[in-house]
Structure 1
């Protein structure tokens, strides 16, 4: 009997790559450029995964929508400038063992992969190019063309692109927004504890994993249960 086609959907920032230092520095640039106090590290990290305007509204709710927009644009500009100044050799850093997880999933003919990330298209394309990930993801959903998480738009688009039913898909992420998005669509959910939100915020996850080996073994069990 043939195995069912399944879809593994990854968040990127905080799940696949560790971009905390870059995010914090670009956020500092954006707020200082707008003449505003820089929010705390914890408040910034907690909001990573939201679209930029949503994140800015969460960080400075007393400011107007126009200020939130300007901060978002300031962050984009600061992020780009920091990437340019760092040079082409400054690749995004995978969390330990994560590249091996992607490589193992890629060779499984019954497994498709996708991204559902609050990153921009430009940012995701940069990571894919830096790490030679062309062909790894059958669907790449980014914040540029979707409402902010936990709205399920990105995940629904990935399911449409691949033709996989929600019950044969899993959403993997480091934030409550990822878990809520997966639950609203009916996918399995795996929360990773090495990212931007603490395990206390991942209570909606079906499973919590603590390192790449735990993630791979959890995915293997999930796939076997679908057979």
Structure 2
């Protein structure tokens, strides 16, 4: 049976969570809505389809949802060149591929952003999903299910992410999850949301690659 690794991208493989939080803050301010940046950061990992209501309320989503998402893109795009891979990201992906795992990236981000991240990671032959591929993003399980459907639908798989939303999505998809602290979430809360192990950095995940839980 095939073994698979489903990797989150923002905050897990690339250092982008705080760029996203700032872009959302600026987007909200454009509509005279002030949401503390710390609260926005706590929601990074959700897709934009869920984030607006989660941090600002359903009334803001109803009034400005689509326009806010467009404004977020406008604010985030100039920061895209500043986003860099996290230490060990390339090594983790290539090690998993070399070890025979089916590797797929499952991101709540926009497709063109994910394509840029793939270039930064300098990995070839790795498939990826984005918010463009599903109706609902994390914490819904859709991205994980679509990702596995592309590479190995019947695989024994593990999800690697950085946020509680990755953990929730993995739980709903019936897959084990391990987490890294690179997105700014604490160990205790990641474990509370289902992470069986929490790592400080990606090279430690790579060292445990053959011992990760698979289901």
Q: Does 1:7 align with 2:20?
A: no
For 2:210, the equivalent position in structure 1 comes to 220
For 1:59, the equivalent position in structure 2 comes to 55
Structure 1: gaps (5+ residues): 84-89
State the alpha-carbon separation in 2 of the partners of residues 125 and 197 from structure 1: 25
Structure 2 residue corresponding to 1:183, chosen from 171, 189, 196: 171
Greater Cα radius of gyration, structure 1 or 2:
1
Q: What TM-score do the two structures reach when normalised by structure 1? A: 0.84
For 1:95, the equivalent position in structure 2 comes to 86
Q: What TM-score do the two structures reach when normalised by structure 2? A: 0.88
Structure 1 residue ranges, 4+ long, deviating more than 4 angstroms after superposition: none
State the alpha-carbon separation in 2 of the partners of residues 211 and 81 from structure 1: 27
State the alpha-carbon separation in 1 of the partners of residues 202 and 9 from structure 2: 14
For 2:68, the equivalent position in structure 1 comes to 71
How far the C-alpha of 1:91 sits from its partner, in A, is: 5.6
| Maintained 8 Å contact 2:91/2:203 | no
For 2:154, the equivalent position in structure 1 comes to 165
Q: CA RMSD in A?
A: 2.1
| Maintained 8 Å contact 1:27/1:75 | yes
Q: Does 1:130 align with 2:120?
A: yes
Count of residue correspondences: 211
| Maintained 8 Å contact 1:91/1:127 | no
Structure 2: gaps (5+ residues): none
Task: Write out per-residue CA displacement over residues 75-116 of structure 1, whole angstroms, 9 at most, x where no aligned residue.
Answer: 012212444xxxxxx3631222222112212222x2111111
| Maintained 8 Å contact 1:120/1:144 | yes
| Maintained 8 Å contact 1:48/1:196 | no
| Maintained 8 Å contact 1:45/1:197 | no
